[in-house]
Amino acid sequence: MSALPPGSTIGILGGGQLGRMLAMAAARLGLRCHIYSDHSGPAFDVAAASTLGAYDDLDTVRRFAETVDVVTYEFENVPCATAEAAAQVKPVRPGVKALEVAQDRLVEKTFISGLAIPVAPFAKVDCDASLNQAAGALGLPAILKTRRLGYDGKGQVRITSTADLACARAAIANAPAILEGMVGFEIEVSVLVVRGLSGEMRFYDIPHNTHANGILDTSTVPAPITHETRERAFALAGTIAAALDYVGVLAVEMFACGEAASAPLIVNEIAPRVHNSGHWTIDACAVNQFENHIRAVAGWPLGPAERHSNAVMTNLIGADVDAWEQLAAEPASGLHLYGKNDPRPGRKMGHITRISPKTGD
């Protein structure tokens, strides 16, 4: 397929802040965005068009797809049936396979380990007996995670001793789950890879990610890792993107365990979309992750992924946003607010990226 010309319309399933930033990036390229969501969100404020509809209303989804030239999505829990309905009408990029893999942690871990890529030890849990068996096999402490849904620390519980086993499944509403063995690591990192229609791939520099209360707190570039670790991380992410025949930006979260470890990098999970840990690219790169995602799904040449600055991105969670005036006055920083009301605890209201002269490769 040839590249979509300026004036074409990108359909986005999901109306949150990622959809908002995708629509803003598309507008820079002269492309329009049409948002489909089951509720009004930040993306509606900046898109050329929007449709309110249930994700399981497949007739409305198909009518939406008829109004656009290509469809993408801004969150990984778009029902596969929704993406498949859209794909009956227009191309959906990334494809449905990426959703199928990313939506189920057991499928995801099995898929990645099948590529000979290290993951945390894991076992399927669907009853008390299988939990006890998994705990015996993997050892404790371990983390019990729901197979589906759950993000920002939700849908999981840490099991530190056998005394915790009795109530662990109840803590996640007895949902189908996996038990993951604990991984000894030095830092958490992520790779943002963009893959085009031709299979061409480009990689953003790797951020060091820190979390608070299960939510991403900061992403700092460059991460304190060796050149060898960085190149290995790029190779692992590229292998996953190619195996999925992926188009767009893919985030691969990893544990960096040190060069002396038997597995210096262990993949934690993937997100088939633009990602919070790549928000720094808006201020520190000529072409950010959102624009490169739009370029990829529209069939355009990929833009450069190199950074021109060091960066520290900090999420503004809940009442953090109340300091917007002071944050806006900071030098060498970019403030990004998502247009949300109700700054309740745990809610991502925006982010600020502080840049400094580039060091490192």
Q: Which of 143, 160, 73, 139 shows the shortest CA–CA distance to 105?
A: 143
How much is the pLDDT for 310?
Answer: 98
pLDDT tens-place string over residues 62-114: 999 999 999 999 999 999 999 999 999 999 999 999 999 999 999 999 999 99
Give the predicted TM-score (pTM) of the model: 0.95
What value does the mean pLDDT of the chain take?
Answer: 95
Which strand ranges, in their side-by-side order, compose the sheet holding 142-146? 122-125, 177-181, 142-146, 156-159
| Spatial separation of the C-alpha atoms in residues 327 and 349, rounded to whole Å | 13
How much is the pLDDT for 136?
Answer: 87
User: Element (H or E) spanning 20, and its range?
Assistant: helix 17-28
How much is the pLDDT for 162?
Answer: 85
| Spatial separation of the C-alpha atoms in residues 77 and 74, rounded to whole Å | 9
The token duo for 70 is 């290509």
How much is the pLDDT for 154?
Answer: 67
How much is the pLDDT for 151?
Answer: 60
Q: Which amino acid is at 45?
A: D
- Orientation angle between helical segments 289-297 and 17-28, nearest 10 degrees: 70
Q: Helix (H, G, I), strand (E, B), or coil: what is residue 285?
A: strand
The CA-to-CA distance between both ends of the chain, in Å, stands at 35
The token duo for 278 is 């790549």
| Spatial separation of the C-alpha atoms in residues 352 and 361, rounded to whole Å | 24
pLDDT tens-place string over residues 149-160: 766 556 888 989
The token duo for 38 is 């089951």
Q: Is residue 298 a contact partner of residue 290, using CB atoms and an 8 Å limit?
A: no
Q: Which residues of the chain carry a pLDDT beneath 50?
A: none
